[in-house]
A and B are shown apart, each in its own frame.
Chain A
């Protein structure tokens, strides 16, 4: 079933569909309110209408998201959620609500950028409660038991993704890079009741058959795009053994919490997730996380696959590459557009990098 058919089917079941812009948001809370969050990262569109609203120097995640709205492809949605990921998403949220007369409800979720203070944690809890109150006005009251159940499902999903990553690190997940990320990314719109059995099935089918002779690398950045890069790595005998992707481990590996209060539980999990540039994580934490991944997987190199014009990522790249090189890990930095395929030059650079580390 295509993503669109799946979402329409969910709607027919009486669920609410929300378009969610990147990146960090409390999925479990949305699920508990019977909302299917359909994440908007890289819809397969050509950017045309959005060019009349955005300058050439704005990243294609934001442009494609706006294109989707302008082309009327969000008509089936019941609302939008904009997490505060970066300046561009912050402003596009306001463009959509304030300048394009979008009459669907638009919600905003601010996650603190000062992650180490106690005030930030308390604020996060209040922000969760505030989002709940706002959603309740549109959709009716939140059922506290539903929230607990969805948090459990969140833990389960995170555990399954954790297993995916562990097996990949050991070379014991018998799927190529492209297939792996296609499966991973189905979590961007499947409701947990459907996602869990699907992930379990995937694991059962592909677990245990060790693949030998592949060169392990780590992929860092926002998205594994253009997807052709994954195919190229497959063809070159390279396995993405782990990642530091915003759509990947930075968001999917959510440590469970044992706190009683579900809101505090969500907050604790959020603050213990892997470090991310969009949350203001210090370079040291990002460096240590990458070093840990390299050690755990025996990766021979790190590919920084950075979306063009993505400020949070581009600022961190020089120090991270520098630190890794100092410790003997090879790095490759790619400046990529999301849906524009792989240029000849990029292909050559990847091939040269692989030749060097193999």
Chain B
């Protein structure tokens, strides 16, 4: 890493990034929207969140030669990479950003031009499309020195990262997490721990930094604290009216996904939690007239967040729980700095998508009870097989066991070419009627 490049990075961190943020905020104030009468006041923290994420993407442009860069899957045990000071980029988070800015189809089609089938996961197509064309609403992403992939969320990431590794001819480290068809076994944990041990020399080589156990333990502790604070943030939605909605949570999820293990994420969730507690004390809800409480199953539909948030709020319906946002709070409490490797193996391999459907059913039943849910919206996502295969049966079983009303809607999270607004509206109208009975 060169001194000049490091100095440039530090200059941008201390001066460039703050200047950019100031400019962006001033522009945003000029364009501010009319308040929606069905929604409560927006979260004050949103500004801070924008600042953190903009800064993260902006600074990433100056990492070349200053910091090693890794592209990482959302479920990968990033804590280990933090020890080596990798600057981490999350293609799935970037995919969500592209989706929210309605750039999904345009960037996906860059991958399709190269032969990637339109049926493949759209996060992967966006990422590959970006790699081939450089198109991104984030300005520019740094080319990685390392790809780090954990198959605890899907096997798709493994196929996708293999392509990137081949295309750029850069190393790919795979963290293989055996699927929990039964309960997790000792040999599964041992296998994962051995993989960590095998990857350390490789990480040292790529980053040019030495492993430090003390540093690792500190990072583990920050990550656990951040995840448990995120869990408390989500738990505020148990209150009536809920001080935030799942549509807010989808957005405020970014730091726990992308900056986990860094103090900035923990600090942020502490501020957010304070604000939510204050809203609870003042009786401020995310929806002005919260009448029914809903649960969401699957990833967000990023290109439709705002429209759907109004559509449901108009009727006094608030989403107060989601299996997706819960995923970053559900198992990270297993992290324990006294046994960093073992605990990390457990925390990362027990996540919802790496666990059998019995476990998913139990979890959803528990959430339906804890959050006093009246109805369930299941998003069937053509991009995501591990989330979607089994949803029809889960719906049937939850209906039988708890009498919960539900609807299945079909979409993609970013590629709206496959989305039918009319069909979705018809299904939702029928669901809204059923909820009122």
* A residues at B contact (CB < 8 Å): 52-55, 57-58, 62, 82, 84, 86-88, 90-95, 97-100, 108, 110, 112-114, 117-120, 122-123, 126-127, 130, 277, 280, 282-284, 308-309, 311-312, 314-319, 321-322, 333, 335
Contact = CB atoms under 8 A, between A and B. Distances in A.
B117 interface: yes
Interface in B305-362: 356-358, 361
A323 to B, nearest CB: 9
10 nearest A-B pairs in the assembled complex, by CB-CB distance? A318-B115, A119-B194, A315-B159, A91-B389, A108-B181, A99-B393, A114-B176, A87-B385, A94-B357, A283-B166
A282 B120 contact: no
B158 interface: yes
Q: Choose among A52, A55, A312 the residue with the greatest number of B CB atoms under 10 Å from its CB.
A: A55
B151 interface: yes
Contacts of A117: 194-195, 198
9 contacts: A54-B389, A55-B391, A87-B156, A91-B357, A110-B181, A112-B178, A283-B163, A311-B159, A318-B115
Nearest to B196: A119
B377 to A, nearest CB: 16
Nearest to B175: A114
Nearest to A308: B119
B174 A114 contact: yes
A308 B115 CA distance: 14
Main secondary structure of the interface of A (DSSP, over half): helix
Nearest to A93: B181
B389 A314 contact: no
Nearest to B361: A98
Given A87-B156, A283-B162, A311-B159, A95 B393 contact: yes
Interface string B154-183: 111011101101110000001110110110
A58 B240 CA distance: 39
Contacts of A315: 116, 120, 124, 156, 159-160, 162-163
Contacts of A277: 159
A113 B155 contact: yes
B11 interface: no
A130 B185 contact: yes
A119 B165 contact: no
B167 A87 contact: no
Given A57-B119, A91-B357, A119-B195, A113 B393 contact: no
Given A93-B181, A113-B151, A113-B158, A98 B195 contact: no
B382 interface: yes
A126 to B, nearest CB: 5
A64 to B, nearest CB: 15
Nearest to B383: A57
Contacts of B142: none
B394 interface: yes
Contacts of B382: 55, 57
B171 to A, nearest CB: 11
Contacts of A308: 119
Given A54-B389, A82-B181, A114 B195 contact: yes
Contacts of B167: 319
Given A119-B194, A308-B119, A282 B166 contact: yes
Given A57-B119, A318-B114, A94 B356 contact: yes
B397 to A, nearest CB: 6
Contacts of A130: 185, 187
Contacts of B121: 311
A309 B119 contact: yes
Nearest to A277: B159
Contact of A319 (B151, B163, B195, B358): B163
Given A82-B181, A94-B357, A316 B191 contact: no
Q: Choose among B124, B174, B198, B390 the residue with the greatest number of A CB atoms under 10 Å from its CB.
A: B390
Nearest to B355: A94
A309 B389 CA distance: 13
Nearest to A312: B159
A113 B119 contact: no
Contacts of B229: none
Contacts of A282: 162, 165-166
Contacts of A112: 176, 178, 191
Q: Choose among B124, B162, B185 the residue with the greatest number of A CB atoms under 10 Å from its CB.
A: B162
A99 B362 CA distance: 12
A110 to B, nearest CB: 4
Given A95-B390, A95-B393, A126 B166 contact: no
A283 B164 CA distance: 10
A316 B156 CA distance: 11
Given A87-B154, A280-B158, A312-B159, A98 B386 contact: no
Given A110-B179, A119-B194, A322 B361 contact: no
B119 A94 contact: no
Contacts of B389: 54-55, 58, 62, 87-88, 91-92, 95
A108 B182 contact: yes
Contacts of B158: 113, 280
Given A95-B390, A110-B179, A312-B159, A321 B361 contact: no
A314 to B, nearest CB: 5
Given A86-B155, A130-B185, A284-B166, A318 B116 contact: yes
Nearest to A126: B187
Contacts of B159: 277, 311-312, 315-316
B392 interface: yes
Contacts of B394: 99
Nearest to B119: A309
Interface string B98-136: 000000000000000011110111001000000000000
Contacts of B74: none
Contacts of A126: 187, 191
Contacts of B119: 57, 308-309, 314
B181 A322 contact: no
Given A95-B389, A99-B397, A282-B165, A311 B120 contact: yes
B226 interface: no
B79 to A, nearest CB: 19
B364 to A, nearest CB: 13
A280 B185 contact: no
